[in-house]
Chains A and B, each alone.
Chain A
Amino acid sequence: MKRQIPIILCSLLGFCLVVRYFIPHRLSQDFESTVNDWVRILAVFAFVIGLGSLIRVHLRRIAMKVSHWQYSIVVFVGLLLMPLAALVDFVKTPNQLASLPANLTSKLQNGPLSATVRQALTEGGLSLPPVVTVESVGKRWKIQEQRQQFATDASSEIITQLDQGKIDTILRQKFSVRDLQLPESIEVTVQSKGRRWLLESGALWYLLTHQKQILTVSRDTTAAYIVGPNPVRSGDLPVYASRKFSKQGSSVNWLFLNVYVPLDATMFSLLAFFIASAAYRAFRARTMDATLLLLAGVILMFANAPLLANQFWHSIFGGLNFLPDAFPTLVKDWILQVPGMAARRAIQIGLALGAISQSLRILLGIDRAWMGE
């Protein structure tokens, strides 16, 4: 029974999620949303288990002084540094950005921000997003922009219009249905043709992403402010940025931007050197296949270097008028889009079928590797 229950649960939930894919009804979407929420909750507990494993392993290495135990100390330094920085940020008093006159305190209520308070804060130098809500948090008030997101079907007309920098009438309707503002003056910036656009009008913006015929419109929370309390009983209430949106320069941000990001970039940059060393080993004309690989690699590298593909090519072969312009680029594109793409698609089809087969084995209870059996 101990082994049967997980298998039954896995199969049942798996088949439910497969069936859910075919049901567009809201209840079906809510079901998937609930399952995703549960997965996120479990992931948090899983992370605690992982952290426990990390601490236990490295503590043991330090205690037993195994070879290279000093690196375990580095692990603990890194593990503790970021939480310490967050603690410092938490204790530090944030900078005051503005103040709310004492006579307007009564205007603060849960719900939309009143026009009077908005005007007072704006006059005090605070820049507020168009749609914010007020929430009482103990003795303080939180003024926060709400995250906005919705997904909808993306017709080809909408996508074409967006690529041309215009907004389709149907797209405007999709916004107005959800009470989201989309002014006439809003501008479209194409970030990635067919996939990603930015709609901007002053401080208002929306990010649109298109994937698998679904258009997702999102606007992340960009500002949150805390109002009060005042250490003096009567007086103006201080307004400062919430810790999440504090100015850069705080300890955590500093560590992230000046330690983590450069280290990450350093590791990524190693890839360039490893590609060169792997190419040196792989591109040796020992067999027919290796020779073809070498030729294709040389052509692609030649065509991707503007100096070689343009100036060098024209200086050597400029006299051959029967060759089309940008001949190396044409050959490169042909290699990538015809034989290369054919091979890639064949592998992708095989992978997709393999993944389906693997998933079926799990759903039917044949493959129990996920249980640790």
Chain B
Amino acid sequence: MKYRLITLLLGIFLSMTSWAIEPPTEVRAVDVPSDDGSEGIQITWNPAIGSTAYRILRREAFSADEPTEIGEIPADQAEHLKDGRLRYIDQTTQIKTAYVYQVATSTDDSDDVTATSEETAIVKAVGNLFHRKKSWILVFIVTFTALTLVFIQLARSGRKMFIRNISALDAVEESVGRATEMGRPIFFIPGLQGLDSPATIAAINIFESVASEAIQDQTRMVAPSFDPIVMNVMQSSLKEVCTAAGRPDMYSEDDVFFVNDRQFAYVAAVDGMIARDKPATVFLQGYFYAESLILAEVAHSIGAIQIAGTSSDTQLPFFIAACDYTLIGEELFAAGAYIKKDALQLGTLKAQDLVKLLLFGLMVLGGFLVVLDINWILNLFSTTL
């Protein structure tokens, strides 16, 4: 009898343990990193055996309220992390409000049968001061800047910096001379972006150099501008060039003027001017869009020499096909340093070349490692921010 009682009790006990659900373990709640606080709080936990769904419970840390359910995820739809843990992101949080979380499990048998985890530590959603995923970009910028400063210092110390010939820039003198001999003006089109574009700044550098040669040869320069601020800067540059050349009388505000800020209206106006004034040389320097070929072809139709340069990789093929000389890729940005032969600017070019070499080395190494199934460098370059 005694043994029957023990067997019965043991059987009941074993069957009860088979109904018991484990609560999720190691439940942690942390602020979502690298955000402004609006991305909320992420809750992670180890999966619980037998659980078909997880319910996320939350309460404010310093209140006496009962926890409320803020979300429920079926176990098969929960986000899995690389270490096997599950994750839920609560985006309904208020910034700087303290919360505590619990995760409850439930099974198909009955939603009432749940197991709830311990409360997490107090956590708040706050704005972060550094975006961790952008660390490598910061390293790159610091390296680039450091190399630039090193080469600037080397340039200041008198070290000669070699720069290869750029045929498009060597042709500037010839083209200005052609305009002088023909008695026709030079047109300079600085692109369709504003002063916030590096390509426009590079174009203005070239404009200064071309203007100084043109003014010395007493050739008129016309620069129709798409942006009023760029127009002002170019007017100021031209005035300084004329004054420095001892020819202030050659400066006219009407030669550097604003046309309009609509793409094809600008192109129509400039094409009309080119067709009527028939310049001997047309410079197309800056950032261009679809209108690039229209400008180049109209200039070609009146027999002008065209020297083009753009940072738009989609328009480069058109310029290469249609223009006499083209600054390809970074040659546009090197133009200022090349023409002025300024040691400091040449130093920055050398730094740029070195960084390019380093990147090239990384790419070759990365490609080799990918063949060996090591994706570290590949992942570095394809990090999602």
**Which chain A positions have C-beta within 8 A of B152?**
364, 366
**Which chain A positions have C-beta within 8 A of B95?**
26
Interface residues of B in 93-143 (CB under 8 A from A): 95, 127-131, 134, 137-138, 141
Interface residues of A in 345-373 (CB under 8 A from B): 346-351, 353-362, 364, 366-367, 369-373
Cα separation A301 to B295 with both chains bound (whole Å): 24
Q: Which of B265, B268, B313 contacts A351 (CB 8 A)?
A: B313
Task: Assign chain B's interface to a size class.
Answer: 35 or more
15 more CB-based (< 8 A) A-B contacts, given A57-B253, A281-B321: A24-B36, A25-B127, A29-B36, A50-B227, A263-B264, A278-B293, A346-B329, A347-B328, A347-B329, A355-B311, A355-B333, A356-B352, A357-B144, A357-B351, A372-B239
**Which chain A positions have C-beta within 8 A of B336?**
367, 369
Cα separation A142 to B60 with both chains bound (whole Å): 40
Name the CB-closest residue of A to B224.
Answer: A57
Flag if A53 contacts B231 (CB, 8 Å): yes
Cα separation A300 to B342 with both chains bound (whole Å): 44
Flag if A359 contacts B384 (CB, 8 Å): no
Flag if B131 contacts A279 (CB, 8 Å): no
**Which chain A positions have C-beta within 8 A of B294?**
267, 270-271, 274
Cα separation A71 to B264 with both chains bound (whole Å): 17
Cα separation A245 to B348 with both chains bound (whole Å): 52
Interface-facing stretch out of B3-11, B166-174, B201-209: B201-209
Q: Which of B137, B236, B345 contacts A372 (CB 8 A)?
A: B236
**Which chain A positions have C-beta within 8 A of B344?**
366
Cα separation A28 to B131 with both chains bound (whole Å): 12
Cα separation A268 to B333 with both chains bound (whole Å): 29
User: Could you list 24 A-B pairs, sorted by A, with CB under 8 Å?
Assistant: A21-B134, A23-B131, A24-B127, A24-B128, A25-B36, A29-B36, A39-B196, A49-B231, A51-B228, A57-B257, A68-B276, A173-B92, A344-B313, A347-B329, A348-B313, A355-B311, A357-B148, A357-B348, A357-B349, A362-B198, A364-B148, A371-B233, A372-B232, A372-B233
| Interface residue A12 (Cβ < 8 Å from any Cβ of B) | no
Flag if B345 contacts A26 (CB, 8 Å): no
Contact with A along B25-45 (1 / 0, CB 8 A): 000000000111111000000
Flag if B34 contacts A24 (CB, 8 Å): yes
| Interface residue A213 (Cβ < 8 Å from any Cβ of B) | yes
Q: Which of A18, A24, A61, A275 contacts B293 (CB 8 A)?
A: A275
| CB-CB under 8 A for A278 and B296, given A271-B290, A348-B313 | yes
Flag if B235 contacts A372 (CB, 8 Å): yes
Cα separation A46 to B261 with both chains bound (whole Å): 12
Flag if B228 contacts A22 (CB, 8 Å): no
Across the A-B interface, the 4 shortest Cβ-Cβ residue pairs = A372-B236, A50-B228, A354-B330, A354-B333
| Interface residue A174 (Cβ < 8 Å from any Cβ of B) | yes
Q: Which of B37, B144, B328 contacts A356 (CB 8 A)?
A: B144
| Interface residue A176 (Cβ < 8 Å from any Cβ of B) | yes
Flag if A57 contacts B254 (CB, 8 Å): yes
**Which chain A positions have C-beta within 8 A of B311?**
351, 354-355
Cα separation A174 to B90 with both chains bound (whole Å): 10
Flag if B352 contacts A357 (CB, 8 Å): yes
| CB-CB under 8 A for A46 and B34, given A54-B258, A173-B92, A350-B330 | no
Flag if A26 contacts B127 (CB, 8 Å): yes
Name the CB-closest residue of B to A154.
Answer: B384
**Which chain B positions have C-beta within 8 A of A275?**
293, 318
Flag if A268 contacts B264 (CB, 8 Å): yes
Cα separation A51 to B138 with both chains bound (whole Å): 42
Q: Which of A24, A57, A346, A373 contacts B240 (CB 8 A)?
A: A373
| Interface residue B195 (Cβ < 8 Å from any Cβ of A) | yes
Interface residues of A in 146-167 (CB under 8 A from B): 152-153, 156-157
Flag if B233 contacts A282 (CB, 8 Å): no
Flag if B345 contacts A366 (CB, 8 Å): yes
Flag if B316 contacts A50 (CB, 8 Å): no
Interface residues of B in 79-94 (CB under 8 A from A): 79, 89, 91-92
Q: Which of A71, A170, A361 contacts B348 (CB 8 A)?
A: A361
**Which chain B positions have C-beta within 8 A of A350?**
329-330, 356
Flag if B89 contacts A170 (CB, 8 Å): yes
| CB-CB under 8 A for A156 and B384, given A53-B228, A278-B293, A371-B233 | yes
- How many Å from the CB of B161 to the closest CB on chain A? 13
**Which chain B positions have C-beta within 8 A of A50?**
225, 227-228, 231, 258, 261
- How many Å from the CB of B194 to the closest CB on chain A? 8
**Which chain B positions have C-beta within 8 A of A353?**
330, 352, 355-356, 359
**Which chain B positions have C-beta within 8 A of A358?**
198, 201-202, 333
**Which chain B positions have C-beta within 8 A of A315?**
none
Q: Which of A21, A22, A270, A349 contacts B359 (CB 8 A)?
A: A349
**Which chain A positions have C-beta within 8 A of B293?**
271, 274-275, 278
| Interface residue A177 (Cβ < 8 Å from any Cβ of B) | yes
Flag if B129 contacts A357 (CB, 8 Å): no
Flag if B385 contacts A213 (CB, 8 Å): yes
Flag if A354 contacts B264 (CB, 8 Å): no
Contact with A along B302-346 (1 / 0, CB 8 A): 000000000101001010111000001110111010000010110
Name the CB-closest residue of A to B91.
Answer: A173
| Interface residue A321 (Cβ < 8 Å from any Cβ of B) | no
Q: Which of A153, A212, A279 contacts B39 (CB 8 A)?
A: A153
Cα separation A280 to B291 with both chains bound (whole Å): 19
Flag if A152 contacts B261 (CB, 8 Å): no
Cα separation A56 to B228 with both chains bound (whole Å): 14
Contact with B along A5-22 (1 / 0, CB 8 A): 000000000000010011
Flag if A267 contacts B384 (CB, 8 Å): no
